[in-house]
Amino acid sequence: MVLKSFAYEALPMRVRFGSGSVSVLAEEIAHLGLRRVLVVCSPGQVRTGELVGAALGELSAGILAEARMHVPLSVANRARDRAAELGADGCVVVGGGSAIGLGKAVALEHGLPVVAVPTTYAGSEMTTVWGLTGDGVKRTGKDPRVLPASVLYDPDLTVGLPVPVSVTSGINAMAHAVEALYAPDASPIVSLLAEEGTQEMVAALPAIVRNPRDVEARTRALYGAWLCGACLGATTMSLHHKLCHVLGGTLDLPHSPTHAVVLPHALAYNQAAAPAAAEALSRALGEPDPARALWDLAGRLEAPRSLADLGMREADIEPIAERVVANPYANPAPITREGVVRLLRHAWAGQAPASDC
């Protein structure tokens, strides 16, 4: 193998992985020198948030169960005010991308360290990326202040994750790996993480569908999510993530189901222009056409495959395409308005991915 020049920057964080890891959360908080942390979660994760708050005892400043998809500015402002009011010196975020995103918003404003306890496979805990949505537009950026200082991966906390959420969250994780393989700042290190992360997720998700309480499958999925999230944190994302950010921020479509629908189509758009990435994904998926393999896998797992089913109108296709192509960004295949419109039409209708976009 001939290696090209590359750069790789390891992000500074601690990771605790394994069944029962949440039991050492207070120890992790003390290790970071924190004394009063705000527990952040979504309304649907209140019970888990209360469990974490009880485990922290006097270290807990309180629980804020207001996290929402795409981190609306109004919610972020309330969280920032609450953290300041309670005199919190850190945040413990419990849940998926919504909770972690809200914790990052607090960190961005107040510089408070974040400890993440992921209960889905979204991967945001591995990145310096933040996102805030206001006036129908989702803005994203990167800032080292929002990177969690510590991440605790406890598969036991994912056993109750509903199967449909597990599936779409897992496909969302694979999207990070897919785009990392053809990113402009890809490296051999990240490519190894991406291929193994995809393999683990592809193996785990069907087992979770068969038996949601299969701890071994949950452990493999969470391990795969960690690797895929690390890819997201180390590289620049391309067309797939741009599409999902615009669809989510503009139309308020559900985050991980949108990723599940769009991924095969975005990969089909790019895979001819990224042969090394396609080869790695073929190995991971065990199929010669990775885009079609992902679409077929979504069908077998009963994941959504149509943007129309998620609430997008056909009349939204052209305006979304305009927004996507308005700002140039790195992508293996040239991004054209006509190509993005064709991609969106296939994804909207629930058709199989086409490589002629």
pLDDT at 140: 84
Contacts of 38 (CB under 8 A, 6+ apart): 61, 62, 63, 64, 82, 83, 86, 88, 90, 91, 92, 106
pLDDT at 328: 77
Joined together, the tokens standing for residue 248 give 């989510």
Domain ranges of the chain: 14-158, 163-349
Tokens 């058709």 label which residue?
A: 351
Low-confidence ranges of the chain (pLDDT < 70): 1-2, 356-357
pLDDT at 334: 96
Max CA distance (Å), the chain: 59
Name the CATH architecture for the domain at 14-158: 3-Layer(aba) Sandwich (3.40)
Class for the domain spanning 163-349: mainly alpha
Residue 40: name the closest of 84, 82, 12 by CA: 82
Strand, helix or coil at 32?
Answer: coil
- Alpha-helix runs per DSSP H in 252-357: 255-270, 275-285, 290-300, 317-326, 337-349
Residue 51: name the closest of 156, 174, 136 by CA: 156
Contacts of 44 (CB under 8 A, 6+ apart): none
Strand, helix or coil at 117?
Answer: strand
Joined together, the tokens standing for residue 152 give 């605790």
- On the question of a common fold for 14-158 and 163-349, the answer reads no
Q: What is the pTM of this model?
A: 0.91
The percent of residues in the chain predicted with pLDDT above 70, rounded, is 99
Strand, helix or coil at 72?
Answer: strand
Q: 3-class secondary structure for 33-45?
A: CCCCEEEEECHHH
The secondary structure of residue 353, as a DSSP letter, is: P
Spatial separation of the C-alpha atoms in residues 163 and 272, rounded to whole Å: 33
